[in-house]
Amino acid sequence: MDTFAALSQGLTIALQPINLLFAFVGVMLGTAVGVLPGIGPALTVALLLPITFKLDPAGSLIMFAGIYYGGMYGGSTASILLNTPGESSSIVTALEGNKMARAGRGGPALATAAIGSFVAGTIATIGLALVAPTVVDIAISFGPEDYFALMVLAFTTVSAAFGSSVTRGLTSLFLGLALGLIGIDLQSGQARLSFGIPDLLDGVEVTTLAVALFAIGETLSVAAAGARADEIIEPVKGSVFMTREDWKRSWKPWIRGTFLGFPIGAMPAGGAEIPTFLSYALEKRLCRKPDEFGNGAIEGVAGPEAANNAAAAGVLVPLLTLGLPTSATAAIMLAGFQQYGLNPGPLLFVTNPDLVWGLIASLFIANGMLLILNLPLVGLWVRLLAIPRPWLYGGILVFATLGTLGANPSLVELGMLLIFGLLGYVLRRYDYPIAPVVVGLILGPLSEQQLRRALAISVGDPLALFQSPIALTLYALSALALFGPLLFFLLTGRKAPVGADED
């Protein structure tokens, strides 16, 4: 079928004024709800789905696309400005983004996130339109042994987020791994580290841990610093928008992030978090000013944000081509599609081409709308930081607890927020990095499950782990990440120029 004809017809429908309005409203709502810490895109889409029921299929698909991308984007705004990641895939954004905001560079950080999301979203949506069937075939060929190799790669590159001390980085990581053990083990059905508390059976929610460590831990340690911390954050130092140098430093990370995010997002067990970790590690390696990492390097926002958004489009690949919902958000979207008799599956492109292309066109429109809406708002968003500290932090705690309560109205969840908030304070006080705790919580259970699946399928033969070419390639990459700099030193006798010129 003529892809471009179908797409342009979809675009004509999506560009009608009334549909543009729906896109606008969707992006607005998605961003507004997604900004709340703890409320990720899944809940945002679930909450706002009933609103779209009232519209005709075209209008509602467009609004839906807007809510989806808006929800993804809203999370990064909160991460950058308030250090309160709204969802697990914007945790990495908080690392550099919030440092930038504190240095008066919140404007460029938000801008590179918005433009990077746009670039990544556009490229990934084109990918969705053109190569979805090919990508999905590759994605499906990933077995548990390959996923395990991917996790190994993620683990080896995570050290990029460790900060200065390996012992401290590993300690944080192992805390996260230990927290990841809590709950019912998927393979055996046994409860681990739950001590008979029913609320622990499902384990620790990633967003709860992230909100607690970042938002509450941060609030506590700023409060404890008292007068010592009383420098006032200047919302804007220099340009509100990106300078020429910012552009120069951003565009390559956007592209690299996109090419990490889209394929991994398309994998049934890929997710949006791993590409953000990989992108962060990659940018740190390639950055020409590596000492800026940890103090607000724009590459550390541009890359992961692009990866995150490209992964969001990637998730739609298995959803539309196979009918596989591979994330909570995708599962809710599936329910939304069914409202219009759209039954995602292998035959969808054949049976409902107009709706599919309408949706893809809507994604383009939503993506553009997100940029148009958010760039002018950057200046306003940044002003949030000018709110006097007592009210700002009061507000942060109100919204952090609101988000947690909204996702799961349980006092135990609030109790965990408090305990992990204290943990976040202690970690900060004694110079332990925060991000590896969350990374451990995400990667630990994933890698364990994949390894055990691989070994169960091979009936306990460990050689099966090294028999797939995909896995071997990924292990080679891990080895390169670990020993690459050392090898360089041995060969040339001088230290690897981290961030070598590659123009």
Could you say which residues in the range 269-328 bind other proteins, by CB under 8 A? 269, 318, 322-326, 328
Exactly one of 103, 384, 496, 498 binds other proteins (CB under 8 A); that residue is 384
User: Which CB atom, from 402 or from 482, has the smaller least distance to other proteins?
Assistant: 402
User: Which CB atom, from 7 or from 151, has the smaller least distance to other proteins?
Assistant: 151
Closest CA relative to residue 362, chosen from 25, 2, 60: 60
CA distances from 194 to 362, 438, 442 (A): 45, 19, 18
391 to 410, contacts with other proteins by CB under 8 A? 391, 393-395, 397-399, 401-402, 405-406, 408-410
Exactly one of 9, 159, 239, 339 binds other proteins (CB under 8 A); that residue is 339
Give the count of residues interacting with other proteins (CB under 8 A): 123
Q: How far is the CB of 104 from other proteins (least distance, A)?
A: 20
189 to 248, contacts with other proteins by CB under 8 A? 189-193, 198-199, 201-202, 216, 219-220, 222-228
6 to 35, contacts with other proteins by CB under 8 A? 25, 28-29, 31-33, 35
Distance separating alpha carbons of residues 399 and 403, to the nearest angstrom: 6
76 to 135, contacts with other proteins by CB under 8 A? none
Exactly one of 460, 493, 502, 503 binds other proteins (CB under 8 A); that residue is 460
Bridge partners for 184 per DSSP: 191
- Residues composing the chain: 503
Closest CA relative to residue 373, chosen from 69, 60, 18, 45: 69
End-to-end CA distance of the chain: 39
User: Which CB atom, from 217 or from 358, has the smaller least distance to other proteins?
Assistant: 217
165 to 184, contacts with other proteins by CB under 8 A? 165, 167, 170-171, 174-175, 177-178, 181, 184
39 to 78, contacts with other proteins by CB under 8 A? 42-43, 46-48, 50-51, 53-54
> The tokens of 484 are what?
């690459």
Distance separating alpha carbons of residues 483 and 175, to the nearest angstrom: 25
Distance separating alpha carbons of residues 150 and 143, to the nearest angstrom: 11
Exactly one of 110, 114, 451, 465 binds other proteins (CB under 8 A); that residue is 451
Query: CA 161, 163, 167: angle at the middle one, nearest 5?
Result: 105
**Per CB under 8 A, 459 contacts other proteins:** yes
CA distances from 213 to 28, 50, 190, 219, 389 (A): 28, 33, 28, 10, 19
The residue type of 39 is I
Exactly one of 417, 434, 437, 443 binds other proteins (CB under 8 A); that residue is 417
Q: Quick one: which segment of 113-121, 289-297, 352-360, 454-462 binds other proteins (CB under 8 A)?
A: 454-462
Distance separating alpha carbons of residues 149 and 308, to the nearest angstrom: 21
Q: Quick one: which segment of 248-256, 283-291, 297-305, 444-452 binds other proteins (CB under 8 A)?
A: 444-452
The residue type of 250 is S
Please, what is the angle between helix 3-14 and helix 17-34, to 10°?
A: 80
User: Which CB atom, from 239 or from 458, has the smaller least distance to other proteins?
Assistant: 458
User: Which CB atom, from 455 or from 479, has the smaller least distance to other proteins?
Assistant: 455
Q: Quick one: which segment of 123-131, 288-296, 334-342, 359-367 binds other proteins (CB under 8 A)?
A: 334-342
The alpha carbon of residue 341 and the mean position of all alpha carbons in its chain are separated, in whole angstroms, by 30
Name the one residue in this structure whose structure tokens are 């759209």: 342
Q: How far is the CB of 501 from other proteins (least distance, A)?
A: 29
User: Which CB atom, from 48 or from 302, has the smaller least distance to other proteins?
Assistant: 48
Q: How far is the CB of 251 from other proteins (least distance, A)?
A: 28
Distance separating alpha carbons of residues 3 and 411, to the nearest angstrom: 51
